[in-house]
Structure 1
Amino acid sequence: MFKEPRISECRIIYLPKIEDNRGNLTFIEQTEHVPFEIKRVYYLYDVPGGESRGGHAHKGLEQFIIAANGSFDVILDDGQNKERFHLNRSYYGLYIPKMVWRELDNFSSGSVCLVLASESFNEDDYIRSYSNFKEAALEDLEAK
């Protein structure tokens, strides 16, 4: 039986954009605009040129990543397939389900990466070794 690769679940989701001459407004409501209940919000900023972030996967956590300012790339890998997304608008974000390896790079000057997460921080949810991730991803795919 064919199993759909997990990377196919990753997608850009557009958020409401209210345009106004005084400045635009975008808002996010949990389960309305992102497919999970938001339990944690954090952001990355002042990333030096040439540096990357991420380099891990999550066993159960889902994320929604937004370029709140500037731009950056998100490289996703489900153990079999890779895809690069360029985020550069604050009115859309990238949904990442569990068990997808993520790396962020190519940060523009002044960029801010806003992350909405489905769970509070839990170090045990992280997979920080790519070889361990590949093994776990294969097991996860077979269990689907």
Structure 2
Amino acid sequence: MIEQNKSSAGHVRLIDLPAVTDPRGDLTFIEGERHVPFPIRRVYYLYNVPVDAERGGHAHRDLEQVVFALSGSFRMKIDDGKTKSEYWLRDPRKGLYINRLIWREMDSFSQGAVCMVLASHPYDENDYFRDYDDFTLAVNEGVK
């Protein structure tokens, strides 16, 4: 089981998932609170994203997520309010864990890319920071 202080913020890391492989193909599975550090409360996926489109452009007050490229690839641009980094997701066995108070942007989708997201909470518009300045202010003040 993964142990983590859920009250911490600004944490991002890659998660490797198990795979069962046989001549018929590969099978990967995910269990909440075992492979991801939270109970899974929502699953959604993006597909038919134009190759020149940008997605994301927000942060969350409380929500934690793990993002996967089930097919194809795309870039995740990550910003904790102080440091920026990039991750290219292209392996369906590797997910990017994104804790709360992380600004994320997605772009460079390959043709036919499918992005799946596991989320710790149901959708709640009040959980979003959609303005970057509001986000950085909250990070710098340590506000939730």
Query: Does the pair score TM above 0.5?
Result: yes
DSSP 3-state at the match of 2:22? coil
- Report the AA paired with residue 72 of structure 1: F
Deviation at 1:31, TM superposition (A): 0.3
CA–CA distance in structure 2, aligned partners of residues 6 and 104 of structure 1: 20
- Report the AA paired with residue 42 of structure 2: R
**Given the alignment, which residue of 42, 47, 59 partners 1:40?**
42
Q: Which has the larger share of helix?
A: 1
Gaps of 5+ in 1: none
**What residue number does 1:92 align with?**
94
**Given the alignment, which residue of 46, 66, 70 partners 1:64?**
66
- Report the AA paired with residue 34 of structure 1: V
**What residue number does 1:127 align with?**
129
Identical residues among aligned pairs (%): 50
1:52 lines up with 2:67 in the alignment: no
CA–CA distance in structure 2, aligned partners of residues 83 and 59 of structure 1: 20
What TM-score comes out, normalization by structure 2 length? 0.91
RMSD, aligned CA = 1.5
1:21 lines up with 2:34 in the alignment: no
Give 4+ residue runs of structure 1 displaced > 4 Å after superposition: none
**What residue number does 1:79 align with?**
81
- Report the AA paired with residue 33 of structure 1: H
DSSP 3-state at the match of 2:63? coil
CA–CA distance in structure 1, aligned partners of residues 137 and 12 of structure 2: 20
Deviation at 1:6, TM superposition (A): 4.9
Alpha-carbon displacement from aligned partner over 1:79-129 (angstroms, at most 9, x marks no partner): 100010000010110000000000011100000000000000000000000
Gaps of 5+ in 2: 1-7
CA–CA distance in structure 1, aligned partners of residues 75 and 63 of structure 2: 20
- Report the AA paired with residue 44 of structure 2: Y
Give the count of matched residue pairs. 137
Alpha-carbon displacement from aligned partner over 1:11-62 (angstroms, at most 9, x marks no partner): 0000001111111000000000000010000001100121110000000000
What TM-score comes out, normalization by structure 1 length? 0.91
